[in-house]
Structure 1
Amino acid sequence: MRFGDVDDLRGLSIRLQLSNTFYEASSQWWFSLDSVSVVYNSSQEAVFNASEVYAPSSLSYHCSHVSSLERHSALLRPGSDNARRWTLTFTDFQIQAFNVTSGRFSPVSDCTTFLTPAILMGLVTSLILLLVLAYALHLLVHLNRIENDRERKAHGDFLQNPEQMERCCSENIADKNVP
């Protein structure tokens, strides 16, 4: 890619170095973006290494941000001292290295990080629901135990102290002696 007079930038070019590798584990070819070079005025070059930009060769690669900034997952890492002075961000980035037909992109292999905000919120919500379920089960078991204790007490008279036992026994003897 070359850019002409864009806000007085002359001679700005961006070079993408791609490679194509066959992986026996997946039995298919995968392309990867190895590096991005930004050349300004044919003299200053900033090289960024791309570590996680890859897709099967039969698909295109799409990502909302391919950037050297940490807030966008930093898929591009400075590979030269000159690159540390630059920040590079591609928005709505889509690339297909090989097997391009009819001038259109193939189906997309999206870049997804493990902890996107949606996945993180789903995990937090699942954890909250799990805690509520565990608390509800605890209450249910506790209520069953209380109910069983009440039934046991209702079926039998438990004498608490010796005086109650004597009174109970004397009442029973008096009832038996009455003609």
Structure 2
Amino acid sequence: MNASSAAPEPLAASAPAARPRYPGAIAGWLVADLLLCALNAVLALAGLSLLLGGETQDVPMSITLAETAAHAGIALFGLFGNAALLRYRPGGAMLAKIALLFVGAGVAVSLYEIPLRLADPEATCPPDIVVAGAAIGLFLRITLNLVYFGMVRRAARFLDRLPSLPG
């Protein structure tokens, strides 16, 4: 049998399509934020233990409750959102954006807490150190989360352009 009379080979198109890969640093940011969300879960559990124990040290109970709720929201929605995006599920973008709303709530609590720390007569930390630490911390939180928001938007746009993925 010569080569011209042989049956044609099946086309390579019948092979399963390879999973797409996010362009640029999107996957790296999603993994990094997944780890940060796990850290927020630990912080939420620590806050919960303080609340259940009734000892919030020098911080009003309402602030501990608000910080714990913010950490819990970041952990819950961030872990599921990042995991979904890493599995190329478009719904993960909405969960990640909800986690960012909890980040905003946490930033608001931090801003509310600054004057309370400055007004505390028993504070052991000098006021200029409190302000500098708060400014640096807020700058880093806001900047990192703005970059993360951009990565979530890029991931969502990337997933919108893909054909439906099986399973």
Report the TM range for the smaller structure's normalisation. under 0.3
Which structure features the higher share of strand residues? 1
Which structure features the higher share of helix residues? 2
TM-score, normalisation: structure 2: 0.22
